[in-house]
Structure 1
Amino acid sequence: MQATSHQAQLEALLRHPSLWRGRGAAVPAGWPTGFEPLDAALPGGGWPRRGLIEVVAPGPGHGELTLFAPLLRQLLEPQVDRCAAFVAPPFELFAPAWRAMGLPLTKLLVVRAPEPLWALEQGLLSGVCATVFGWVDAGTSLVALRRLSLAAEQGAALGVLVRPPRAALEPTAALLRVAVARTARGLGIELLKGRGLAPCRLELELP
């Protein structure tokens, strides 16, 4: 009898007009990542098609660019009249390595700018860049990150922000936050935050 009473109270509460009930929205289909285990773990079955992704890495050269090579091949196909921009990378992009990954060098743009956040925003807004990679310090304001997110939406572009580990403790405007690190077998991925995401860890074998 008591259980029935509690159930009736719950049903009455759920019918109350002042109660707001959230409804989960479907996540749009994403870009295939090129790694089946990662596709299976990501909402939408891949990387978001526009907006921001944050990649937390312990330092340069931990696979943060190799991870996105399959996506870049899709975005930079010959029939697609868009490019990929890299704003203020902390290293020189090695042309033979990019060529070996099947990427057209004529569609890769390196930007060295005194104001990297401004350059990132302009690249995302331009409509010319399918994706823009940027190396963004911890402590960057949430307002600045939201500007980048809005620019990516308006420019139908995907922004990939590579950030240091301490940035993982800060608020984000990104649709997805992941952590990467090289391992003995390939690349370790930790899915940290994202709409509809079940946080988990994966190890990907690199070609």
Structure 2
Amino acid sequence: MAISLLWADGENTPPVPQSFTPSGVAQRWPVGLPHAVEAAIWRGDALGSPVTTTLRTGFETLDAELPGNGWPCQSLTEVLQVQPSVLEWRLLAPAMRVVVAQGKQIVVVGPPKAPHLPGLRHLGLDERQLVWINADKPVERLWATEQLIKANAAGMLVSWLPQARQEQVRRLQVCAQGCDGPVILCRPESAAHEASAAPLRLQARLGVDWELHVHLLKRKGPPHEGELRLPSIPGGLEAVLTPRLRYPSRLIAARQSRELSHAVGSPSSRHPSGRPAAAH
């Protein structure tokens, strides 16, 4: 049974809240919120305002989709991919160049493959400002990552933690709030189905035309639809790729078209039974 609620004055709407002065005179509260309160409210259909500084990613398309237009500092960011050590450097290199230009160090913890110094130079990174911590065991990588975050010892910290548990990521996020630079965790794509305390999570994969495809799994803002295509030719290939090789997808499509035309053949050159027609 539905019960209808009526207010004391007989109207169906609640009375406007009132306050009283010391003399007992009633005053109505303002309908709108104070400007300071209004500015602090984040609505879920808009990108949130970061509470910390950010570092530009070097990709304008990606910056436009991130709160604060860049990698968040004093916070964790998770980069999820199918195979490690394939695209992290290409994705993070533009921001790393900014960190190196500021005289700060890049610290990497437990990369599955040794950093390739000539490749780093092609990306514009100075190996003298790169610190590589070779930690093979998961517990060693986790311990080194936490200590570096607490010590605030890097302009950017990149750590490979494929086996990190939810409570461990949560602990790192708490510690990262005192770290001035971005903290990037590289994890497998299967971790996308797990809950994470990282405020920013993204999936990345390689495209055919030397680009990176990025989908934002989690951000402070509305859900991200589709994928971002970020141009990213590997270091050292920019100067040697011909115009045709810059778009391999066009070459693949042309080849498939030729193969299809050869497979179908010309109808006029074949007999209805499937045998070639006899010459007259």
1:27 to 50, 64, 88: 50
User: Does residue 90 of the first structure (1) align with residue 112 of the second (2)?
Assistant: yes
C-alpha displacement at 1:164, in angstroms? 0.7
Question: How do residues 1-207 of structure 1 correspond to structure 2 at under 5 angstroms?
Answer: 12=14, 23-24=41-42, 26-28=49-51, 30-77=54-101, 79-80=102-103, 82-113=104-135, 114=137, 115-138=140-163, 140-185=164-209, 186-200=211-225, 201-207=227-233
C-alpha displacement at 1:197, in angstroms? 4.6
Whether the 8 Å CA contact 1:58–1:181 is kept in 2: the answer is: yes
- For residue 90 of structure 2, what is the amino acid of its counterpart? T
C-alpha displacement at 1:40, in angstroms? 1.0
C-alpha displacement at 1:85, in angstroms? 1.1
C-alpha displacement at 1:129, in angstroms? 0.7
C-alpha displacement at 1:157, in angstroms? 2.8
Question: Judging changes above 3 Å, is the alpha-carbon distance between structure 1 residues 94 and 173 closer, same or farther for their aligned structure 2 residues?
Answer: same
Partners of 1:50 and 1:197 in 2: how far apart?
22
Partners of 1:141 and 1:165 in 2: how far apart?
14
Identity, % of aligned positions: 31
C-alpha displacement at 1:123, in angstroms? 1.2
Deviations along 1:19-40, one digit per CA (max 9) or x if unpaired, are xxx9316325522111111111
Larger radius of gyration: 2
C-alpha displacement at 1:63, in angstroms? 1.3
C-alpha displacement at 1:155, in angstroms? 2.5
TM-score, scaled relative to structure 2: 0.63
- For residue 192 of structure 2, what is the amino acid of its counterpart? A
- For residue 137 of structure 1, what is the amino acid of its counterpart? P
Question: Judging changes above 3 Å, is the alpha-carbon distance between structure 1 residues 96 and 26 closer, same or farther for their aligned structure 2 residues?
Answer: same
* C-alpha RMSD over aligned residues: 2.4
C-alpha displacement at 1:131, in angstroms? 1.5
C-alpha displacement at 1:14, in angstroms? 11
C-alpha displacement at 1:13, in angstroms? 10
Whether the 8 Å CA contact 1:188–1:202 is kept in 2: the answer is: yes
Q: 2:263 — aligned with what?
A: none
Whether the 8 Å CA contact 2:78–2:187 is kept in 1: the answer is: yes
Q: Any stretches of 5+ residues in structure 2 without a counterpart? A: 1-5, 18-39, 43-47, 234-280
C-alpha displacement at 1:151, in angstroms? 2.1
Question: Judging changes above 3 Å, is the alpha-carbon distance between structure 1 residues 12 and 98 closer, same or farther for their aligned structure 2 residues?
Answer: farther
Whether the 8 Å CA contact 1:53–1:175 is kept in 2: the answer is: yes
Partners of 2:131 and 2:202 in 1: how far apart?
24
Structure with bigger RCO (C-alpha 8 Å, 6+ apart): 1
Q: 1:18 — aligned with what?
A: none
Deviations along 1:93-129, one digit per CA (max 9) or x if unpaired, are 1000101111111111111234110001111122221
Whether the 8 Å CA contact 1:62–1:180 is kept in 2: the answer is: no
Whether the 8 Å CA contact 2:71–2:182 is kept in 1: the answer is: no
Whether the 8 Å CA contact 2:85–2:112 is kept in 1: the answer is: no
Q: 1:19 — aligned with what?
A: none
- For residue 218 of structure 2, what is the amino acid of its counterpart? K
Q: Any stretches of 5+ residues in structure 1 without a counterpart? A: 16-21
Q: How many residues align?
A: 191
Partners of 2:15 and 2:190 in 1: how far apart?
42
